[in-house]
Amino acid sequence: MRMTQLFSRTQRDAPADAQVVSHQLLVRAGYIRQLAAGIFSALPLGFRALAKIEQIVREEMDAIGGQELKMPVVNPAEVWQETGRWYQIGAEMARFKDRKDSEMVLAMTHEEVVTDLARQIVESYRQLPLLIYHLQTKWRDDPRPRAGLIRVREFTMKDSYSLDADEAGLDAQYRAHYQAYFNIFHRCGLDVIAVGSDTGMMGGSLAHEFMALTPIGEDTLLLCDGCGYAANRQIARFQKPAAPAEAPLPTERVATPGVTTIEDLTAFLDIPAAKTAKAVFVIAEISDPTPHAQFVFAVVRGDMDVNETKLANALHATELRPATEAEIRAIGAEPGYGSPIGVRDALIVVDDAVAASPNLVAGANAPDAHLRNVNCGRDYQPDIVADIAAAGEGDACPQCGHPLRAERGVEVGNIFKLGTRYTEAMGATYLDHEGKPHPIVMGSYGIGIGRALACVAEAHNDEYGLVWPITVAPYQIHLLTLGPPGSDATAIADRLYAEMTAAGVEVLYDDRNQSPGVKFNDADLIGLPLRVTVAKRGLKQGAVELKRRDSAEREFVPLDDILPTLRARIAEMEAEIAATVVEIPLEA
């Protein structure tokens, strides 16, 4: 492609809106343009880079038996009603009516459609296992798009769905994806880790997220350098410091005027936070058996915090929100002085560490008073005892006790064991060899293509611009002529461009009548892996300059050798990436 014809332009300044490096560089270098919040166009350069990632995804999916197809973006409401997600999902899913007044949705994922296809096509265990996938536009009306392509509302996702006769089959396909995902991201030059994750709205029994580690990431991950334990903070477990064994003492009321926080309380009574109980009041939306709002009184030890995801999971709640002061008083509690003793119409959820800690200080459900020696089970009966405490940096690894390390990450992919959640709801069954029907066992696996591109850009850049891995770069070669139109240099560059193109090398040719500085700067900004400069300086010796974008070294290559040399360099760079594609075993 000649730059004089490329539908693009570079910019010296990034738009003021762009905060993160990947966003700034992708816009400045002419890869993307924003149309609205979380809605972007990919310009030809960006489109080519996305296509490179998509091709890698296809190859790895095909390698584990995937069959590509395409499912529609617009779905009738019925299938979403069949699985219940029509009712569970809120404003994030776009809904509209067609001209006949039928309810339609823009699919934000495709379990429903897959399941509908499966119940039409799959009849026998002989047809299983199956793996189907597609690359499709998704619309999710995220309340807060941000960071360029990192978090958008419209995006392309690869989603695959495994169909199996049993758990063992699902497990095999899950493991195959686990490795395929590492292959995909490594081939894109992205260093990722897999962490255990919440299953969220997808339901299901096991899930991993593939996280690109970066300080701009929105998820907090807890990692163990001792044993390799890795989990999203949402579900991360940890070893809770044990409470000293003590015989339960009689409860005793103590005046604590103006003491409403754990910090105040520990100072006022001169006790460690681990000897206190912290009350958190939330209203949970619970849909089972019938949708209702439930007041929840959650208790963790004062040295810990509530993890809302864990709490919601313990409750099987679809939504949590903080309770208002009026709601807190309505159950007989007092904000700042809450105690599980004597409250009414509240579901009491107690962290397991609280249940195991004797003689805690809790509120007295009255202003300016606390109770000493509160004991779970003796003084109040919990409705649920579960792990609802949040793990944080420095907490002990649940597996080996080593202190956990916190990192930020961007979720570029995820894999879920769905089981029969959708196939049962929609009646997608197969017949076993005895002719008995069983629901198909399903898995679902996603990769955000644009987000992956942004993460690659975020990880591969320097002060001058992008530095693409050769596997993702929109072109392999940036060819520059430093001569004006009609010069020898340009005539030779024209010839090289034709030869490279004919040889199947992907080349972007800067044939513009611009000064050398402009061309070099744009080449650095656009970030193609190899740069070939045709100019008088080299031509005097019959050579052109060759430079890797990721290195300061330059070499002069005789004109006759440039094509084979380029091929060798491309192979070299591809080999460098290939060396990062390694086996990562799935533990457990």
Partner RNA sequence: CGGGGCAUAGCGCAGUUUGGUAGCGCGCACGGUUUGGGUCCGUGAGGUCUGCGGUUCAAAUCCGCAUGCCCCGACCA
User: Contact residues for RNA (CB under 7 A)?
Assistant: 9-17, 19, 34, 36-38, 92, 108-110, 138, 140, 142-147, 151, 157, 159, 197, 200-202, 209, 218-219, 308, 319-321, 411, 414, 446, 448, 464, 482-484, 513-518, 520-522, 524-525, 533, 535-538, 544-545, 547, 554
The total number of residues shown for the chain amounts to 588
Nearer residue to RNA within complex by CB, 347 or 361: 347
Tell me the three-class secondary structure of 66-131, residue by residue.
CEECCCCCEEEHHHHHHHCHHHHCCCCCCEEECCCCCEEEECCCCHHHHHHHHHHHCCEHHHCCEE
As given in the structure block, the two tokens for residue 207 are: 């899930």
CB 487, min distance to RNA, A:
7
Q: d(Cα 511, Cα 169) in Å, to the nearest integer?
A: 55
Of 201, 24, 172, give the one whose Cα is nearest residue 112. 201
DSSP one-letter code for 399: T
Q: How far is the CB of 301 from RNA (least distance, A)?
A: 21
What strand order describes the sheet that includes 384-386? 317-322, 277-286, 292-301, 347-351, 384-386
Say how far residue 9 (Cα) sits from the centre of its chain.
31
Q: Which is nearer to RNA, 230 or 274 (CB)?
A: 230
Q: What are the residue ranges of helices labelled H in 146-234?
A: 167-187
Q: How far is the CB of 151 from RNA (least distance, A)?
A: 7
Of residues 171 and 305, the one with the C-beta less far from RNA: 305
Nearer to RNA, 230 or 544 (CB): 544
Structure tokens at 484: 């004006």
Q: Regarding beta strands 384-386 and 347-351, do their DSSP bridges make them parallel or antiparallel, or are they unpaired?
A: parallel
CB of 376 to RNA, least distance (A): 26
248/484 with CB nearer RNA: 484
107 touches 113 (CB < 8 A): yes
How far is Cα 521 from Cα 531, in angstroms, rounded to an integer?
A: 12
Nearer to RNA, 159 or 164 (CB): 159
Closest to RNA by CB, 274 vs 282, is: 282
CA atoms within 13 A on the CB side of 4: 8
CB of 357 to RNA, least distance (A): 26
Nearest distance in Å: CB 476, RNA: 18
**Cβ at position 535, least distance to RNA in Å:** 3
Q: Between 38 and 398, whose beta carbon lies closer to RNA? A: 38
Contact 195, 370 (CB under 8 A): no
Least distance between RNA and beta carbon 135 (Å): 12
Q: Which is nearer to RNA, 11 or 324 (CB)?
A: 11
**Which residue lies nearer to RNA by CB, 234 or 373?**
234
3-state SS assignment for residue 380: strand
- Show the tokens assigned to 583: 């086996």
- In the Cβ-directed half-sphere of 253, how many Cα atoms lie within 13 Å? 10
CB of residue 390 to RNA, shortest distance in Å: 11
CB 252, min distance to RNA, A: 36
Q: What does the H/E/C string look like for 234-259?
A: CCCCCECCCCCCCCCCCCEEEECCCC
| Least distance from RNA to the Cβ atom of residue 443, Å | 13
- Between 101 and 463, name the residue whose CB sits nearer to RNA: 463
228-411-408-223 Cα dihedral, nearest 10 degrees: -10
- Chain-centroid distance of CA 278 in Å reads 32
Tell me how far the alpha carbon of residue 374 is from its chain's centroid.
42
CB of 147 to RNA, least distance (A): 5
Minimum distance from residue 282 beta carbon to RNA (Å): 9
Q: Is the dihedral of CA 379, 384, 387, 389 positive or negative?
A: negative
* Encoded tokens for 190: 């992205």
For RNA, the closer CB: 309 or 365:
309
Residues 6 or more apart from 78 whose CB is under 8 A from it? Answer: none
Question: How far, in Å, CA of 325 to CA of 333, rounded?
Answer: 9
Pick the closer one to RNA by CB: 202 or 454: 202
Neighbouring residues of 566: CB distance < 8 A, sequence distance ≥ 6: 476, 477, 500, 505, 530, 532, 546
- According to DSSP, the residues that pair with 415 across neighbouring strands are 208, 445
Going by C-alpha positions, the residue among 443, 487, 240, 492 that lies closest to residue 354 is: 240
Q: How far is the CB of 189 from RNA (least distance, A)?
A: 22
Q: Cis peptide leading into 529, omega within 30 of 0?
A: no
At 507, give phi and psi (nearest 5°).
-135, 135
In DSSP terms, which residues pair with 317 in a beta bridge? 286
| Residue number, 363 or 448, with CB nearest to RNA | 448
